[in-house]
Chains A and B, each alone.
Chain A
Amino acid sequence: MIIDLNLETDDAAAVRCRHCGGTVGDSVATPMNHALRRERPSVEAGPGVHADPSLFVDRPVVLRQAFCPGCLTLLSTEIVPDGEPSYRGWSLT
């Protein structure tokens, strides 16, 4: 089953990268448990972040990304206050 542009499930219900075939998640209950994850200051997202968030809020704001462990395709990107749960996700169970 195709999940999104990057991910699909195989016959064993593991989650695989559609670009390299690498395993991203062992099951639909843990769809991205093998993904590489990185957090850094949101200003490192590029010119779309126009001003340092510390001008507006006390709390750090982070760029949170997940990558395929095989081909390093970017699987998810979000900019969130540090420590907040992800704003967007999906469930396959």
Chain B
Amino acid sequence: MHLVVSANGKSVPLSPGLSGGYPAATQWDVLVRGSTVAEQFAAGRIPRSLDELGGTPDILPPHLETDLAPSDVYFTHWQGGGGIGDPLHREPEIVARDVADGKVSATSAHDVYGVVLEADGSADVSATEQRRHELRHRRAGLTPEGVQP
């Protein structure tokens, strides 16, 4: 199979945010050569991440033409759109719902939205307030009171 990759926005997102919202994600294309996906499927297992595919991952440039072997896997992550508003202003329970729905990763919830999740996936309101207080200062290059630099 012949693969043609043509995608900009790998270093600078193409869709900006509004009112402080973050821009879209960067375009991300990965080609995994020599994966073990066929063996995993045969064993009734579905890989859930790039790391679980086996083989050798290669992050692809904006433009590339190549041939794919049967064991190769092409992964693409589209950019989406930019955000609107300060992510620290988004209601914690809505962020928790977005995580549950697969729209926001747990990492983004913690690092960008400043939402601390309970084990059951709900937002820990008190811990979220603390986390947001810290993030609000750190992202501006400031050290919040009572927090180590």
- By a beta-carbon cutoff of 8 Å, the part of chain A in contact with chain B is 4-6, 36, 38, 42, 45-51, 53, 55-57, 61, 65, 67, 72-81, 87-88
Contact = CB atoms under 8 A, between A and B. Distances in A.
Q: Is the interface of B mostly helix, strand, loop or mixed?
A: loop
Contacts of A73: 20, 86, 88-89
A76 B61 CA distance: 29
4 shortest interchain CB distances as A-B pairs: A53-B11, A74-B20, A50-B28, A5-B19
Contacts of A53: 10-12, 26
A81 B13 CA distance: 11
Contact of A67 (B28, B108, B140): B140
B125 interface: no
Contacts of A42: 11-12
A1 to B, nearest CB: 15
B77 A50 contact: yes
Query: Which of B17, B22, B24, B25 is packed against the most chain A CB atoms within 10 Å?
Result: B22
Given A65-B139, A72-B137, A77-B22, A56 B10 contact: yes
Contact of B13 (A4, A57, A72, A79): A79
B87 A74 contact: yes
A65 B86 CA distance: 11
Given A38-B140, A48-B22, A5 B28 contact: no
B141 A6 contact: no
Contact of B62 (A46, A56, A74): A56
Given A50-B77, A80-B12, A74 B59 contact: no
Given A46-B108, A56-B10, A88-B16, A77 B25 contact: no
B27 to A, nearest CB: 8
A72 B23 CA distance: 19
A88 to B, nearest CB: 5
B99 to A, nearest CB: 13
Contact of A79 (B23, B112, B136): B23
Contacts of A5: 18-20, 84-86
A47 B105 contact: yes
